[in-house]
Amino acid sequence: MLQLNFSGFILESGTDEAGRGCLAGPVTAAAVILPADFENQLLNDSKQLSEKTRFLLKPLIEEQALTYAVTHLHADEIDEINILNASMKGMQECILKLAHTPEFIIVDGNRSLNSKLGMKNNCGKQFSLDEIALLKSIPHQSIIKGDSKFLSIAAASILAKTYRDEFMNTIHEEFPMYNWKQNKGYPTKEHREAIKKYGTTKYHRMSFRLLPEQLQLDFLDL
């Protein structure tokens, strides 16, 4: 049974990300604040649920949450600041998008939410000094396997996963040869064979090891 609250604060936000290990597509973060009376017996870590159950829960979370936010950080930004920093930045951006400022934040994983806060980059959102100060002012706690322990982190994991899957389904139509509708950009044998055959796209993360052999890759002229 997942717990509703860690800190005792009413406005406690859970945050998580999806797609960190993919070769293509964004890393997608989400943050959710649930009401104090929230209950759902199905809600769990998104990795423990079927795709059907995740998409069943998505509108329920959106309707019942006090506020939620989702952010995509795309391949160019991932390549510039690295995937770990991009994952944290995505969660930071989500916190800033929430309709209510959290009194406390719980983060899935073992890394501080404010890690590399406000780092300069050429791609994506640049944080203002006020935004950096706000993020620094909110107490937070990293929780290993938090998505299987707390409802708000589990809800964030489901939103991150479903929004990212929808994005991958959309760009699959643009580049069907990679079968992103099925593999969602993860490093499957099929995906890597397609990279070897067709080269890379604007959605591929060029800082990642796309092929084990590290063969010379061709770029699609798009």
* Per-residue model confidence as pLDDT tens digits over 115-154: 788 888 888 999 999 999 999 999 999 999 999 999 999 9
Q: What is the pLDDT of residue 222?
A: 47
Q: What is the pLDDT of residue 213?
A: 65
Of 61, 141, 67, nearest to 106 by C-alpha is: 141
Query: When comparing pLDDT for 73 and 213, which is higher?
Result: 73
Q: What is the pLDDT of residue 47?
A: 85
Straight-line distance from the first to the last Cα atom of the chain, in angstroms, rounded to the nearest whole number: 48
Q: Whole-prediction pTM value? A: 0.92
Report d(CA 140, CA 131) in Å as an integer.
16
Q: What is the pLDDT of residue 150?
A: 96
Q: Spell out the alpha helix ranges (H) of 36-100.
A: 51-64, 75-81, 83-97
